[in-house]
């Protein structure tokens, strides 16, 4: 499978400058983030992708839009690939708002409030990534799957830190990474 971290968000830009939570709820992509999404769409054109799984956060959905359009493949929204809930940006938009903003996607299997209500310990993200790894590895088409997700989830899946707009191939049948180091 391929794991793609969403493009730069307004949160990423401000947090990168100050190292403080700017208090943005479910932030959008910056201009750079939109460019990273378009670049990813071009880079992934010849990778044989047949399915896209996307986190319900706006930044992931905005990253998925040009990719799905370019590849012409179906999109599945799945909160299991969401970011670790630790900052204001990890408060999502209610399902009703997502349905209104993204009418071409199916949100019918998502609760109205699909993100945790309190900070999520790293161990829970690692467990969530392990559950996803097991379920995706059981699919015949995992090699042709693109997952558009977030730094913490991708770190939990692979043990690798990826930049905004960066993607990597990952074999979910490999053992889970050990001794993950989360940055502050």
Q: Which residue has the tokens 């990778």?
A: 47
When pLDDT is cut at 50, 70 and 90, the band that residue 184 belongs to is very low
C-alpha 16/C-alpha 18 separation (Å) is 6
- The terminus-to-terminus CA distance of the chain in angstroms comes to 28
pLDDT value, residue 99? 95
Quickly name the fold that domain 2-169 has.
Answer: Rossmann fold (3.40.50)
DSSP state of 31: H
Going from the C-alpha of 85 to that of each of 130, 154, 174, the distances in angstroms are 17, 14, 26
pTM: 0.95
Paired with 52 in beta bridges are: 75, 146
Domain ranges of the chain: 2-169
* Secondary structure tally for the chain: helices H, strands E: 6, 5
SS3 (DSSP) at 171: coil
Per-residue pLDDT of 82-121, as tens digits, reads 999 999 999 999 999 999 999 999 998 899 999 999 999 9
Per-residue pLDDT of 147-169, as tens digits, reads 999 999 999 999 999 999 999 99
């Amino acid at each position: 499978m391929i794991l793609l971290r969403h493009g730069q968000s307004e949160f990423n830009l401000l947090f990168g400058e100050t190292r403080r939570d700017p208090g943005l709820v479910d932030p959008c992509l910056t201009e750079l983030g939109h460019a990273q999404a378009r670049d990813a769409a071009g880079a992934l054109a010849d990778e044989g992708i047949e399915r896209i799984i996307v986190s319900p956060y706006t930044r992931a959905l905005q990253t998925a839009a040009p990719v799905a359009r370019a590849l012409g493949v179906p999109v599945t929204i799945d909160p299991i690939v969401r970011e670790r809930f630790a900052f204001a940006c990890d408060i999502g938009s209610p399902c009703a708002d997502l349905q209104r903003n993204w009418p071409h996607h199916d949100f019918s299997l998502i609760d109205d409030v699909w993100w945790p209500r309190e900070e999520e310990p790293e161990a829970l993200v690692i467990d969530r990534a392990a559950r996803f790894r097991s379920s995706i590895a059981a699919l015949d088409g995992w090699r042709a799957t693109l997952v558009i997700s977030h730094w913490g989830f991708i770190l939990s899946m692979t043990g690798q830190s990826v930049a905004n707009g960066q993607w990597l191939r990952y074999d979910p049948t490999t053992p889970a990474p050990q001794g993950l180091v989360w940055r502050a």
